[in-house]
Amino acid sequence: MMRMSSQVEYGLRAMLDIALNGSDGPVQAGDIHRRQGIDEHFISQILLMLRRAGLIESLRGRQGGHRLARPASLITVLEIIEALEGSDEARERPGQANVIEVAVVRDAWNEARDRVRCYFRDVTLADLCERRNALSTSSYMI
């Protein structure tokens, strides 16, 4: 039904990688590329979008890289999605609103979209880190 774009998936994975590996210092794009298997050029574009949205900071130099701009508990999945794809309101198409069938379908779609947005507004990057850690510990139990 609804699909997550590659850009959003890779952006979420990159943010998760930075959150999980950033305690030792800035995380370099090449390291994200290797750990996540994301094309180096694509990850650079995604990181630029995340930086422009104020979700990460970039540090230059030999020991440079990327770090979260604020704690993972204060970054929502919705913010990451909107940083990479824009808000749904920006993509709304006008026209044919006077046709009742169009209005009914749009209302139903908007209601579903609003529910998804509310869910992602409540899920933080810290929540994703906790889920990842829980999965990694449970998958190694024998």
State the Cα torsion 46-52-53-59 to the nearest 10°: 80
Single out the residue of 62, 60, 51, 42 nearest to residue 15, CA to CA: 51
Half-sphere exposure of residue 111: CA atoms within 13 angstroms, side-chain side: 6
- Token pair 């440079």 in the structure block, residue: 64
The whole-angstrom separation of Cα 35 and Cα 29 is 10
Query: Token pair of 127, please?
Result: 């929540």
Query: Token pair of 7, please?
Result: 């850009």
Q: What is the rounded average pLDDT for all residues in the chain?
A: 90
Q: Write out the H or E segment, with its range, that includes residue 29.
A: helix 29-36
pLDDT tens-digit profile, the chain (142 residues): 578 899 999 999 999 999 999 998 999 999 999 999 999 999 999 999 999 999 999 999 888 999 999 999 999 999 999 999 987 654 555 555 568 888 898 899 889 989 999 999 999 999 999 999 998 887 655 5
User: pLDDT digits over 33-56, tens only?
Assistant: 999 999 999 999 999 999 999 999
